[in-house]
Structure 1
Amino acid sequence: MKNYVEKNFPDTFEARHAGTKTGHSDRGEDWNYLDDQLTESQRWSTWPATEKLMRGPLPYPEFVIEDAGAIDTELGVLKTGKEADVFLIERATAEQRALLAAKRYRSPEQRTFNRSSTYTEGRSVKRSRDARALKNGSTYGRLVEASRWANSEWQYLRLCFAAGAPVPYPVQVMGTEILMEFIEDPESPGAAAPRLQHVRPDAERLGLYWEQIVEAMKIFARLGFAHGDLSPYNVLAAGERLVVIDLPQFVDLAGNERGAGLLRRDCQNICAWFRPRGLDVDGDELLAELIAEAW
């Protein structure tokens, strides 16, 4: 990790943390002074401000830093998307550091994703005030909408991770930002894993990938959901391991009348990537398998 950060972001950890040794400095507990030492790309760790349900499932992985004196440093953009952007974050103390992916949802007027009602059919809004605001499109309603998508992805990440699905570990959520596991490319330590669309696996690995993506889709189906937007662009290839990302539009197969159609589309998209590469797979056969898992 250190080599990657030093190579790609020459503003090194030591320089960024000069005088801020896990919340202490030559001036002792002078927090105003310590705040002045942070750059525009830094903040104190937001972990202490999160409650139990805003944190990932127990037990926490080793890369989860709970120290209140840790500093979050934004290192750059990993991905831009229709409704959110993903940034690379280093969370660190003097003794420990970890790279995380921070997914930050945009407000509705900044998004280019305009088919949300297709996916949210069957979902409920608990607070009547929020439901009215969403319907009226007020300023508060736009905030609710952005938070709603972030919260949806957070809940689906927790649910899927607990069920054993290959998704990033969800570290924490605050408002419209989700911090999650940074999926690293084991063949290029410290670099982000490529999307499935951009890899060229040999026959053996191709078969392994197929088994993994089918099992992932089966887990989703057993939970009662379809990904809803599954494609080679929403799957990361971390060496021999596949990781499915971008879950906010998860579709309730029972509560959404479009659920079966979106599941079929997921199957067709995945099979369309595997067939030209040598696997004789059929989208309708995969759909039948998944429906059997769901019911």
Structure 2
Amino acid sequence: MREHDLPRTGRGKSRNHFDDDELTYEKNFAEEPEWDETPDKPEFGDRWSTWDLSTPLERGPEPHPDWLVTELAAVDVERGVLKTGKEADVFLLHRHIPHTERGCLLAAKRYRSHDHRMFHRDAGYLEGRRVKESRVNRAMASRSSFGKEAIAGTWAGAEFNALVRLWEIAGQLDVPAFTPYPVQILGTEVLQEFIGSPDGTAAPRLAQVRADGKELADLWRQLVLGLTVLARAGYAHGDLSPYNILVHEGRLVIIDLPQIVDMVANPQGKRFLARDVHNVATWFTARGLPDVDETALTAELLAEAGLR
């Protein structure tokens, strides 16, 4: 995929700052000065790549995938909305280098500001989550405007950090990745691997898949493996269902992890895990998969997490 190709002109002209050595005061001008208000954006596209705005700890684990565009000459182009929700919207983003064929599709998840609805029953998910500054914890508990902004940042950070951790653990265990690759986080925007076809068609949700026989059994095997890695990391998804699992060319991918639950720190961790298992086991059983024992699976996952 290619965008309109024009030479890059730079990221804007330099401007004076208040800490410059020499200041020119407006009262000394004989006539009205002309200020440079040229927007800092590329000739084509919606913005420059934000890759260099994230710190190394705010980027995905190395080695970065070959498909990921990390060059600073890249631009980001919005391709539309993939999903809307009460807490966040997901956009399709094309990051590419002008004049070349190099580009990739990303899913940009942007959490809503404090004046929009926050997570449904978010108090249960927030148990066990704390930030370093006590004043921020108090603001989050009181749901002040500042506290709601902090909660939005907490959701974004929790999802990105979980994706990084799970990607790393899958690599250490030499098992296929079952979550999207976490590209970067910038504020309350989480960029991650787009799961779908090169033309921008998103992969279907598990709830939309018509599978039976060996295909259904293979999807269950992948899901159990993913849940096992989650449990070994000490996590429960917290809101798992056939609606936040994607299936792309036979690959099962678990998405929507902002409410991820630390099963040790959260006193309701076991309940969240049991609910996750029940939701997916019920779906697979209804589709005709035999020998699905949710009680046994829940016990196995608790053992993986070091809980009983």
For residues 158 and 202 of structure 1, the distance between their equivalents in structure 2, rounded to whole angstroms, comes to: 32
Q: For the Cα contact (< 8 Å) 2:95–2:105, is it kept in 1?
A: yes
Match of 1:46 among 45, 50, 59: 50
CA deviation string 1:137-180 (max 9, x = no partner): 33322221111110111110100111114100000000000000
Q: In 1, are the aligned partners of 2:92 and 2:200 still within 8 Å (CA)?
A: no
Instruction: Provide the residue aligned with 1:116 in structure 2.
Output: 122
Measured on the aligned residues, the alpha-carbon RMSD in Å equals 2.0
- Using the alignment, how far apart are the partners of 1:177 and 1:30 within structure 2? 21
Distance in 2 (alpha carbons) for counterparts of 1:36 and 1:204:
50
Equivalent-residue separation in structure 1 for 2:130 and 2:212 (angstroms): 45
The structure with the largest helix share of the pair is 1
Q: Quick check: 1:107–1:145 contact (8 Å CA) kept in 2?
A: no
Aligned 1:148-167 pairs, distance under 5 A: 148-164=154-170, 165-167=177-179
Give the superposition deviation at 1:134.
Answer: 1.8
Equivalent pairs counted in the alignment come to 273
Q: Secondary structure of 1:213's match? A: helix
Say whether 1:89 aligns with 2:101: no
Q: Give 1:287's aligned residue.
A: 298
Equivalent-residue separation in structure 1 for 2:61 and 2:221 (angstroms): 26
Q: TM-score, normalised by structure 1?
A: 0.86
Q: Deviations over 1:7-66 (max 9, x none)?
A: xxxxxx43xx342x3x24xxxx58367846546x60111111111001000000112212
Per-residue displacement from partner, 1:204-236 (whole Å, max 9, x unpaired)?
110100000001001111111111100001100
Which residue does 1:239 correspond to in 2? 249
- The partner residue of 1:170 within 182, 188, 193 is 182
Question: How far apart in 2 are the matches of 1:249 and 1:229?
Answer: 7
Alignment of 1:182-201 (within 5 A): 182-185=194-197, 190-201=200-211
The match for 1:266 among 256, 276, 301 is 276
The change in CA–CA distance for 1:189 and 1:286 in structure 2 (over 3 A counts) is farther
The Cα of 1:287 is off from its aligned counterpart by 0.7
1:212 aligned partner: 222
- Report the residue type matching 2:105 in the other structure: L
3-state SS of paired residue (1:249): coil
2:179 partner SS: coil
Structure 1 gaps, min length 5: 3-12
Matched, 1:181 2:181: no
- Asked if the contact 1:84–1:111 (Cα under 8 Å) also holds between the matched residues in 2, the reply is no
Q: Does 1:135 pair with 2:141?
A: yes
Partner residue in 2 for 1:66: 70
* CA distance, structure 2, for counterparts of residue 84 and residue 203 of structure 1: 36
Identity of aligned residues (%): 47
Check if 1:126 corresponds to 2:132: yes
Offset of 1:239 from its aligned partner? 1.5
Change (3 A) 1:209 1:86: same
Partner of residue 9, structure 1: none
* Per-residue deviation, residues 174-203 of structure 1 (Å, max 9, x unmatched): 000000000114xx8642111100010131
Contact 1:88 1:101 in 2 (8 A): yes
Kindly indicate whether the alpha-carbon contact (under 8 Å) linking 1:224 and 1:252 is maintained by their aligned counterparts in 2: yes
CA 1:53–1:36: 2 relative to 1, 3 Å: closer
Normalised to the residue count of structure 2, the TM-score between the two structures is 0.83
Higher alpha-carbon Rg: 2
Task: Report the CA distance shift for 1:211/1:48 in structure 2 as closer, same or farther (over 3 A).
Answer: same
Letter of the structure 1 residue corresponding to residue 155 of structure 2: W
Query: Residues 136 and 181 (structure 1 numbering): CA distance in 2 closer, same or farther, change over 3 Å?
Result: same
Secondary structure in 2 matching 1:168: coil
**1:173 partner letter:** I
Question: Counterparts of 2:227 and 2:79 in 1: how far apart (Å)?
Answer: 33
